[in-house]
Amino acid sequence: MGSSALPGYAVLDVETTGFHAFGPDRVVEVAVVQVDPSGRITDEFDTLVNPERDVGPTHVHGLSAADVFEAPTFGEVLGDVLARLRGRVVVGHNVRFDERFLRAGCQREGVELPAFPTLCTLAAADVLAIDAPSMRLADVCAAVGIELEGAHSALGDARASASLLARLLSEQGTAASSIVVGGLDPSWPELPSSGRTRRRPAGGQGEALASEAPFLARVVARLPRLGVGTKGAAGYLDMLDRVLADRVVTEDEAATLLAMARAYGLGQDSVRALHRSYYEAVRAAAWEDGVLTPEEERDLDVVARLLALQPDAAAPEEAKQAPSGHAVADEGPCWDQFAGKTVCFTGELMATVGGQRLSRDDATALACEAGLIVAPRVTKRLDFLVLADVHSMSGKAKLARKYGIPLLAEWDLWRAMGLEVT
């Protein structure tokens, strides 16, 4: 297939929860970089994706559950992705992997995806006779002097693969078509664009930089500009408390809050004032025992973000300062509240002890030695669900929230045991 027969190439890269595309694993980030026949990048698209389950190996892709829990789902971004692939050769480093996840995602959404031409940059590396210690993208790029920025981010890997493609086109010209597999099918699904994206956080982990305001910020923006009032405040705050109980705000919950605010005649200023009041109430509750634990500090940060408070309004540094007679805890919760309790572990554990990351077996052994009862699954009799990220959307985390079981950050458990963890 000659490159002149096509408008160009689309480099596709996905970061995933694992390797089983047609099994339990899902996409957590996707990028498409469009490249013209000369090798020039003409367009870029990338977004985090809410996998609606545990995010998998955070140590590989650098994403936490907190990063993706407000991201669009795969179905919501599928139209944007397919529109950028239409009529192009789809390129990837081990493109079969990315293609499988694309097809699996389409299948779940009931979208029939026809055959399309692909070009694998693994094959390109062979054609270019690149002398690299391995065919991993990082090694291939290093061997030819291509800078790989943001390895294991979808956009970073897609850009690097696009650079390899450009080198192939520059050195081989139309002969590059010899490694294109398959041909174009004139039929191609046309899905609406949701316009929703969420960018990867600059540091690789932590809160993502949204291309749209958080749900509650959008709730406020859609209200009329009325003065602050108290009518309906109690009802709105009660609903807000229920919505934020699991520290996750869904589209349906946001819509409920919006409808309630409108029903009570609450305007933007009123709702902002109520959000601030709610934050102060959470802060006061956190300080009630006289200390602010690391877990409570993280919780305050989450609440401030979900309430769409500006950094100065949320006053995170002020929140960390103890009211008169109080002190910030240097350590996590005390052991007394955990002794003899039943716990269950879920997801990939991230804490390290003595420079070694704890495996599930290590964690279970430590917990049992400390007198805890380790359960294999979540039941209503469970005391704590222990996990690396309390924003996890894993099945166990969802069930624990449903049962009202506290989600406990693993670091707090280990510190309560007296272990030095990082």
Position 215, amino acid = F
How many whole angstroms separate alpha carbon 160 and alpha carbon 141? 7
**CA nearest neighbour of 58 among 418, 392, 336, 414:** 392
Helices and strands per DSSP (H, E), number in the chain: 17, 16
Residue 389 is predicted with a pLDDT of 80
Angle (nearest 5°) at CA 289 between 286 and 295: 45
Q: Where are the beta strands (DSSP E) in 321-377?
A: 327-328, 342-345, 352-353, 356-357, 373-374
How many whole angstroms separate alpha carbon 348 and alpha carbon 121? 31
Query: Hey, which residues does 34 pair with through a beta bridge?
Result: 10, 43
Are 409 and 338 in contact by the 8 Å Cβ rule? The answer is no
> For 93, phi and psi rounded to 5 degrees?
-90, 105
Of residues 274 and 237, the one with the higher pLDDT is 274
**Per-domain boundaries in the chain:** 3-199, 213-328, 335-416
Token code pair at residue 235: 């009802």
Q: Which pLDDT tens digit goes with each residue over 110-168?
A: 999 999 999 988 888 877 888 877 777 888 888 889 888 877 899 999 999 999 999 98
Query: pTM for the complete prediction?
Result: 0.59
Token code pair at residue 333: 């919760």
pLDDT > 90: percent of the chain? 28
How many whole angstroms separate alpha carbon 86 and alpha carbon 10? 9
Token code pair at residue 368: 């049992």
Residue 92 is predicted with a pLDDT of 93
> What's the mean per-residue pLDDT of the chain?
80
Are 44 and 155 in contact by the 8 Å Cβ rule? The answer is yes
Residue 123 is predicted with a pLDDT of 81
Q: What is the DSSP letter of 244?
A: G
CA dihedral 363, 369, 375, 379 (to 10 degrees): -110
Mean pLDDT for 345-369 is 86
Are 118 and 180 in contact by the 8 Å Cβ rule? The answer is yes
Residue 336 is predicted with a pLDDT of 67
How many whole angstroms separate alpha carbon 270 and alpha carbon 223? 10
Residue 166 is predicted with a pLDDT of 93
Neighbours of 99 (CB within 10 A): 19
Output helix, strand, coil percentages for the chain, rounded to the nearest 5: 45, 15, 40
Q: Which helix (H) or strand (E) holds 124?
A: helix 121-127
* CATH hierarchy code of domain 335-416: 3.40.50.10190
How many whole angstroms separate alpha carbon 185 and alpha carbon 188? 7
Residue 323 is predicted with a pLDDT of 44
Q: Which helix (H) or strand (E) holds 28?
A: strand 27-35
Position 395, amino acid = G
Q: Which pLDDT tens digit goes with each residue over 367-383?
A: 998 899 999 999 988 98
How many whole angstroms separate alpha carbon 329 and alpha carbon 320? 10
Superfamily of domain 3-199: Ribonuclease H-like superfamily/Ribonuclease H (3.30.420.10)
Q: Which pLDDT tens digit goes with each residue over 14-47?
A: 999 888 888 888 999 999 999 999 999 999 999 9
Are 177 and 33 in contact by the 8 Å Cβ rule? The answer is no
